[in-house]
Structure 1
C-alpha cells in the first residue's frame, strides 16, 4: 500500500517536471522531442522493448550539454507517460582535468530541475582521475589511483616537452576515452550514445584516434575499429601504455564480440535552443562559468589551461604570466574576463584538487629539464632555483644513477613529482619507440585537435652550458 502511494507520488512529480520542461520549449522544440521519441521507439523495436533500450550522454559543463540532457529527459518522461515505460539513461559527468565546485553546482541544479537523482531509470556517474563511480561531490578515485594519474600526467609533460595546449588537449582525450569505455561497458552496457558534436568534429576525432592507433599498433586500416565503442577501447589501451612507459606493455587486444554502438547526434535540435534563456533559467544556469566553452571543449576546463599557459609564458618564453594566460581567456571566455590573482589561485587549486600537483612541479614540467641528459637542467636552475646551481654536478650524478647524497634525490623527486627511476629513464632516453611515437603524436595537437606549430626547444645559452667533465 505504502509502495503504491509512493509510486503514484513519484509519477505525479515526474509529470509535473515534464509539463514544466515542455513549457520552457517552443512548439518547434517540442516537435523535435516527439521526433526523437519516434526514433528511439524504432531503434528499440517498439513500445514493448523501449524499457530495454539503454541511452548514454557524456555531459560537459557547457550549456549545449545541459540542453541535450533536457531533451533526453523530456523524451524519457514523455514515453513513460504515454506507454507506462521508458528507456534507461546513463549520464557520465566529465570535466578535465577535474570537477570544480562551480561546475558541480551547475550540474546539481540541472539534475534537480530535471528530477534525475530519484529516478531508477537514470544512472548518474562521475569521472575522476581516469575512474568512474556514482555521481557525488566527493572524488571517485582512491588516493592510490589519483597518485597514478598525477604521475602519468606529469611524466607526459616531461616526455613530450610540450606546450599546455597539448598537455590539456590531445593527451587528455586518452583519459576521456578511458572513462568513456568504462561507462559504456558498465553493468548491462549501452545501446546508443547521444552527442551534440557536429558531424565534422566527430569525423575529425574518429580519424585522429584511428591514426594514433595505427601509428602505435602498426595495424592495417581495415583492422582498426570504426565505431566509437571500439575506438574508445583502443584509446584507453594507449592511455594505459602512456601511464606505464617504462614497463613492457601487454599486446593490445580489442573486443571482437562487442555490438556496434549507435551514435545519435542532436545538433539540429540544439541549434533551436542556442538562445533559449527560458530553458537555461529552468536548468539553473543563470550563473554561468567565468569561462564557458562550447562543443567538445565543454568537457575541458579552460581555467587551468590559462594558468599553465601563463606559467609557460612567464618561465619559458619570458614574456609574463598575464600575457600568456590572457590569450586563453580571450579565446574561451563568453564575456570579457580579467585574469586577476584570485583566478590564478583558483586555477592552481583546481589542478591541485584534480591531480595533486604543486606549482613548483608545473614549472618543472614546463622546462622538462631532465630529458636529453639534462640539457635544460642548468637553465631551469638559473631561472627557478638559483640556490641549487652549486649542486649541479651532484644532480647530474644522481640522474646518471651514480652515488649521491640522499638530499639530492629527495630534491629531484620533490621538484618534479616523479620517481628517481623515471627521472633516470628521462635522462638516459631509455623509452620504448612505441611510447616515443605516441608522445610525439599527442604533443602535436591541441584541445580541438588542431595541429600545433613546433615550439623551439628551451636551451641554455652557450655561456651557461656545463661540460661533461664539469658535471662530474
Structure 2
C-alpha cells in the first residue's frame, strides 16, 4: 500500500470539499454495513467495472473510500473488481481500464483483485489479455440468431443475450474463490426496484420458477437462470441451451448490497478533470457511441437502421441513420449526458460526409468484432428464413440473389434433406449453419408492439423494452409514410 498516500493526495486535488465530506460519510456508512465491521480486512467487496466513463468514476470513488479507511484505521476491505467482456468491446476499453488502474495505484496492492470475465472464463486482469475465439463466436451466433428472430431490431439483436451474460458475470464474480460479502452498486433506488420488477416480469413471461423474495441475491440469480434457460430455448431450440447461456446462482454466501448512489453524482461533466486528467480516460471513437457503456454495438445499431432503409424500405442509407441518430440523441438527453458529449455525437452524424465515414467504421467493426459481412447484416434485416420463410421470395428478388426459393424450402423444412452446395451458399449469405437455419425456419417471427398482441414471450419482451419509440418513416416501395418501432441505446 506504499503508493496509496501519494495517490490519495493526488486524487483529493480533484475533489471538492463537499465530495470529500460525502466520501467520508460514505466510508462510515460502509463500515457499519459490513458483516464484520470490527475486522475490516476480513470483508470482501465486489464492484463491477464495464470500462466506460461512469463505471470508471465509480471505481475511483470506491478506491478513494478504500484509501480513506486505510489511512484512518491502518486496515481496509478487500476489493474485487470484475470486468465482463464481450465482442462489442475493443482493445481501447482495456487500455482505458489499465490507465485507470495505474492512476489508482491498484497494481501491486494486495487489497485489490482485478478480474476479467470472458464467457465462463475468469482470469486476472492483464492489459493485453486475448479475447477467447470461442466467446467471440458465441457472441456472433447470439447476434445472428436473435437478429433473425427479431428482424434485426437493434436492442433485441445486440442487448438481450448480452444483458443475460452480464447477470451471469455478476454470479460468477460473486461465486469465485469463496465468494464476496458485499456488492457495491451505484443504481438509484428506483433503478433497483425496476431491476427486480424486470426479473419478476421476465419470470412470468417465460413461466420460470420464481424464488421467494427473502432469498436475496442468490434467489434473484436463480430466477434469472430460469429465464435465461427458457429464453435461449426459444432462440436455439429445446435441448440446445449451452452452459454459457445459464446463470450461476449457487453462491458460497449471499452478499449484501451497499448503494453509493446517494453519496455522489455520476454525470461525467461533474468530474471531467478527474476522468481525463487524473485517470487518463480517453473517449474512443467507436466505443463512445450514444451509450453509457463503452461498447461499439450502438454504432452497428445505427448502421443496421441505415441498411434497412437502403434495402428493405428502398430509401437512402442516410435517412435511416439519421432516424437512429435523432432517436439515440434523445435518449442521451433523457439520461442527462453532458452537452459536450451530445455535441460530439451530433457532429458524428451531421451530414452526408460524416455518415459515410461512420458507415466505413461500422462495416469494419462488424467484421472485426463479429466476423459479419454487410451482406449477412442485410440478410438479418430481411430475416428470410424465419417463420417458414415467409420473407424468402421478397429477399431473393429484392437483393437479386440467384437461388431457388423452392430448393431452399425443401432443404430447410426437411431435416433429412441434403444439398452441400446450397448449404454453403446459404451460410455465406446468412452466417448461419444449416441446423441454425432450420431452427429459424421452425420459429415464428417476433411481433412488434404495432402488431396484434401475441402470447409469444419474445414479442412481449420487445413490447416492454423501455428503450424504444414509434416513429413515422417513409416507405420507398409503397410511396407512403408508415409507423415503425425503433429501439437502441
Give the alignment's TM-score, normalised by structure 2: 0.78
Shift of 1:297: 4.9
Q: Secondary structure of the residue that 2:82 maps to in structure 1?
A: strand
Counterpart among 23, 32, 38 of residue 28 in structure 2: 38
1:421 aligns with 2:416: no
Deviations 1:300-330 (A, max 9, x none): 8532322233223332333322223334445
Shift of 1:374: 0.8
Residues 1:283 and 1:352: Cα distance change in structure 2 (over 3 Å): same
Shift of 1:27: 0.9
Residues 1:291 and 1:322: Cα distance change in structure 2 (over 3 Å): farther
Q: Superposition pairs for residues 24-423 of structure 1, below 5 Å?
A: 24-44=14-34, 48-94=38-84, 98-128=88-118, 132-138=122-128, 142-219=132-209, 223=212, 227-243=216-232, 245-248=236-239, 255=250, 258-270=253-265, 274-280=269-275, 281-285=277-281, 287=283, 292=288, 297=293, 301-330=297-326, 331=329, 332=332, 334-335=342-343, 336-339=346-349, 340=354, 341-384=356-399, 386-389=400-403, 391-401=404-414, 403=417, 405-423=419-437
Shift of 1:381: 1.6
Structure 2: gaps (5+ residues): 333-340, 446-454, 479-489
Q: Please identify, of 211-220 and 417-426, the stretch whose mean Cα deviation from structure 2 is larger.
A: 211-220
Shift of 1:39: 1.6
Superposition RMSD on alpha carbons, in Å?
A: 3.5
Residues 1:218 and 1:242: Cα distance change in structure 2 (over 3 Å): closer
Distance, in Å, in 1 between the alignment partners of 2:272 and 2:87 is: 29
Distance, in Å, in 1 between the alignment partners of 2:37 and 2:49 is: 27
Q: Please identify, of 31-40 and 276-285, the stretch whose mean Cα deviation from structure 2 is larger.
A: 276-285
Shift of 1:30: 0.8
Distance, in Å, in 2 between the alignment partners of 1:234 and 1:348 is: 38
Deviations 1:439-468 (A, max 9, x none): 32333355xx34655999x9x99xxxxxxx
Deviations 1:399-451 (A, max 9, x none): 122645321111112222222122123223399xxxx94432333355xx346
Q: Please identify, of 211-220 and 14-23, the stretch whose mean Cα deviation from structure 2 is larger.
A: 211-220
Distance, in Å, in 1 between the alignment partners of 2:366 and 2:221 is: 25
Q: 2:7, 2:104 within 8 Å by CA — same for their partners in 1?
A: yes
Q: Secondary structure of the residue that 1:371 maps to in structure 2?
A: coil
Distance, in Å, in 1 between the alignment partners of 2:148 and 2:472 is: 14
Q: Please identify, of 263-272 and 309-318, the stretch whose mean Cα deviation from structure 2 is larger.
A: 263-272
Q: Please identify, of 314-323 and 76-85, the stretch whose mean Cα deviation from structure 2 is larger.
A: 314-323
Counterpart among 424, 429, 444 of residue 463 in structure 2: 444
Q: 1:193, 1:262 within 8 Å by CA — same for their partners in 2?
A: yes
Q: 2:53, 2:268 within 8 Å by CA — same for their partners in 1?
A: no
Distance, in Å, in 2 between the alignment partners of 1:158 and 1:272 is: 36
Shift of 1:241: 4.4
Q: 2:183, 2:255 within 8 Å by CA — same for their partners in 1?
A: no
Q: Secondary structure of the residue that 1:197 maps to in structure 2?
A: coil
Distance, in Å, in 1 between the alignment partners of 2:249 and 2:35 is: 29
Distance, in Å, in 2 between the alignment partners of 1:191 and 1:243 is: 31
Deviations 1:361-385 (A, max 9, x none): 222122111112211111212233x
Deviations 1:76-131 (A, max 9, x none): 12222222221122222346652223333322222211122322222222344575
Aligned to 1:5: none
Residues 1:50 and 1:358: Cα distance change in structure 2 (over 3 Å): farther
Distance, in Å, in 2 between the alignment partners of 1:152 and 1:286 is: 29
Shift of 1:72: 0.6
Q: 1:79, 1:85 within 8 Å by CA — same for their partners in 2?
A: yes
Aligned to 2:451: none
Q: 1:68, 1:266 within 8 Å by CA — same for their partners in 2?
A: no
